[in-house]
Structure 1
Amino acid sequence: MSRNNLWHLEHLENSSFPYRITVEQEGRLAIALRTKEPWPEPQAAVFCLREEEPPPEEYRKVEECVPVASFRPRGKKISVTLERAERRHCEFLFVTKRYKSKEGEYEQIFFRVPETVHAHRTKGRTGLFAGTPLELVVDADERRPWRFQGADIRREPLEAGTYALVRDGRFRALVARKTFTGFLGELDDLEALHEQLDRLAAVPHSAVVVEAQYGDFLDPRRVDPWPAARVARALAGISARHPALPVIYAGNRKMANEWAHGLFCAVAGGGRSSGS
């Protein structure tokens, strides 16, 4: 493919969709999308919007410009391969859905990488705990919160954790949700992280739930510029300093959500399973 085919990533002055991705083919704009992230995490798709009109030049900062090796529309998907050593393969999935409360259709666009597709093919099932009554608080700053079917949910600032189970007016369980990049970034300030986890551990039945595999943090390519050995020591130090606080490496967003839902249901039920 000609080097006139280019992938552009621009940073915008927009808090909701701060990135703009375009693919140019022979001087023609083949696709233009607004995204929440510059590149998807391995187990999480990034929600996008189709661009209606280009933003003014003064509000755009070019982050990267990469030659496109392959741009292949395939039904509802567009597969893209970039000419670089890492973060080469991705795809955009275009889904059309009908409104539930009115006539017409709307479009959803998801930016994902091959690992995301694999994660969505796991055998885990969401909704295993549907119908269990829960009263939950979701931290006011949480973006794209997990789903807890049938739960009574309210938003408010949490001093510790991302999700809290409430019973009789008190927090009975806390879960701190961590993405791969978010958790890795917090290792830069271990003392602040330890203080956060101390507050979390003060509430019984609390846990840190990570949307990644433990092995992801030992992959030198994934944790660069950190040495993988340093990351391993930091994670071990977390378990040593907070022995009563489980750190669950759930693998992906879906499984992390399911694990937290199960914990809250078990605590709400006094530790009894539905089969007891």
Structure 2
Amino acid sequence: MLAEEIAASLGMPIIPWHIKSTTKAQQGLYEYDAVSRLRDSQLGDDKVHDIANYIEKGKLWDAFDADNKVVLLIDEIDKADIEFPNDLLLELDKMEFFVYETGEIVKAKVRPIVVITSNNEKELPDAFLRRCFFHYIQFPDRETMKEIVDVHYPDIKKDLVKEAMEIFFDVRKVPGLKKKPSTSELIDWLKLLMADDIPDEILTNRDTSKAIPPLYGALVKNEQDVQLLERLAFMNRRQASGNNSGGPG
């Protein structure tokens, strides 16, 4: 969202490059389709004489080739392998790269604004980070989260949001969770609560330390975390039961 906001506020187009685990740095520059060229040569196609016909431009090429300043979003860079950031160091530093097949140098006509996002799933190389201006986006507080929910579900019942958010933030505070529920999990969970027409009373004053939330599968996406919540709930219920049954000797 940060890149989109920058682009919108500055009136610039955005070029998004969404990174996957299989993405290679070279794909951001260009890809040469040698197989298609070989096939066309066997078929006698005249376009084989121009190798540029078999080069597919990547997102960096698009950004460098733009006549006006653009925002280049490299989204979730930590999904790729550990060498991915280093493989882009020179190109992002110099704002140019060499195309071996054609012998041309692609230089940025206008230096783009490059926004790189990471979920901290992997540590990024120090050499790469030294070239970055780091900005950490804090997790939304309750008021901001309510505004986010209102954007997604403007007609949702206020009591449902209030009680659901109490549970959501309680779950996030549980020590030892491997994956704390995020904003997207809250949005999905609320959608399920509305779809199942869960009464507000089921959520009201619900003690998450003694019972896991309804439809918890939308909130907790790690098996160990589910077991942790179940174990904590069981232990707290047993302790509460022992306290209630105890008396003077």
TM-score range, shorter-chain basis?
Answer: under 0.3
When the two structures are superposed, what TM-score results if normalisation uses the length of structure 2? 0.26
When the two structures are superposed, what TM-score results if normalisation uses the length of structure 1? 0.24
Instruction: Specify which structure has the higher proportion of helix.
Output: 2
Instruction: Specify which structure has the higher proportion of strand.
Output: 1
Greater RCO (Cα-Cα under 8 Å, separation 6 or more): 2
